[in-house]
């Protein structure tokens, strides 16, 4: 079985405090994109994957969902940069949960898959849910997810630019300062902007509390954000804990032209559309 694993962008990300378990309490609007890895799964005796780098969230996801004695062999064709704030590893794990549920007829609901996903990683629940619902609101450590519930007038297009540095989620969180109180306006304004279908309005209300600490740790992110801002002539933001920065633009043509301009300067850039689940 083959399945696409969709990268995410955090349009807003509020850090609301530190929890007793050491994680941070978050509130974030997460939107899936068409930038994807391709995952191939084959029934096998044990659980294994061909992924070479570091923790393999796909294997963790397979172990979390499969009954004792049931195995799978996972192959990943990577396109999403890792350590980029695009949820690459988490998107792969989310796709593995969805695929194995189907492949082995496990009969789990989206809600049950989200619960299993929370044991795999903080970003995995939102990436499971966004495959069904499109944009989602992520809260708690990342385990509470709900459909954003806005009818988006027309799909958005994104320009992604990555400075090629690995931004450690742990290090960025360790350096961030939590908000004193949640700012109700951030979520309210983002919902209204998304509903409008107007990329310019969405751009004006982008916000990410992890941006300042990530930029302090990696000045390369500041330079890439400046290059992107000059190219698209609008505000830009960072996604997740970085290092990828993004802009929201009106058309695919505008995104493609920005990607050409940024790539010509030797910086990794890619365009992606908002991913719309098939209903």
153 or 174, CB closer to ligand C5P? 174
Per-residue burial over 190-226, b = 16 or more CB atoms within 10 Å of its CB, e = otherwise = bbebbeeebbebbbebbbbbbbebbbebbebbbebbe
Q: What angle do CA 216, 217, 220 make, to 5 degrees?
A: 85
Which residues inside 113-132 make contact with ligand C5P, applying CB under 6 A? Answer: 121-123
**Of residues 23, 106, 195, 198, which one binds ligand C5P by CB under 6 A?**
23
The catalytically annotated residue of 37, 92, 123, 209 is: 123
Q: Give every CB contact of residue 222 below 8 A, 6+ residues apart in sequence.
A: 215
Q: Is 154 designated active site?
A: no
The DSSP bridge partners found for residue 10 are 30
Which residues inside 224-263 make contact with ligand C5P, applying CB under 6 A? Answer: none
* String marking each residue 69-108 x if it binds ligand C5P according to CB under 6 A: ----------------------------------------
Q: What is the largest CA-CA distance in the chain?
A: 55
Min dist CB 167 to ligand C5P, Å, is: 11
Q: Does 142 bind ligand C5P (CB under 6 A)?
A: yes
Residue of this chain nearest to ligand C5P (CB atom): 122
Q: Is 8 designated active site?
A: yes
Which residues have a catalytic role annotated? Answer: 8, 123
Binding site for ligand C5P (CB under 6 A): 23-24, 26, 121-123, 141-142, 169-170, 173
């Amino acid at each position: 079985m083959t399945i696409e694993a969709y990268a995410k962008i955090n349009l807003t990300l509020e850090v609301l405090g530190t929890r007793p378990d050491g994680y941070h309490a978050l509130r974030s609007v997460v939107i899936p994109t068409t930038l994807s890895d391709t995952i191939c799964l084959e029934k096998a005796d044990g659980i294994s994957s061909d992924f070479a780098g570091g923790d393999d969230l796909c294997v963790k996801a397979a172990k979390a969902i499969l009954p004792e004695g049931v195995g799978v062999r996972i192959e990943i064709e990577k396109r999403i940069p890792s350590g980029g704030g695009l949820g690459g590893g988490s998107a792969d794990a989310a796709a593995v949960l969805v695929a194995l549920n189907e492949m082995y007829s496990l009969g789990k609901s989206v809600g049950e898959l989200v619960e299993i996903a929370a044991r795999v990683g903080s970003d995995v629940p939102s990436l499971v849910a966004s495959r069904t619902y499109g944009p989602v609101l992520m809260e708690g450590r990342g385990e509470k997810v709900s459909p954003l519930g806005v009818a988006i007038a027309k799909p958005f297009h994104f320009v992604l630019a990555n400075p090629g540095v690995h931004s450690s989620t742990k290090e960025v969180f360790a350096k961030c300062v939590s908000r004193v109180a949640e700012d109700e306006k951030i979520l309210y304004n983002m919902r209204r902007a998304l509903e409008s279908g107007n990329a310019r309005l969405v751009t004006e209300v982008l916000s990410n509390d992890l941006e300042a600490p990530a930029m302090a740790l990696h000045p390369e992110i500041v330079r890439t954000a400046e290059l992107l801002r000059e190219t698209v002539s609008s505000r830009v933001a960072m996604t997740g804990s970085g290092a990828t920065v993004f802009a929201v633009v009106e058309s695919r043509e505008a995104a493609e032209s920005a990607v050409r301009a940024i790539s010509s300067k030797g910086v990794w850039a890619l365009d992606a559309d908002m991913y719309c689940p098939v209903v």
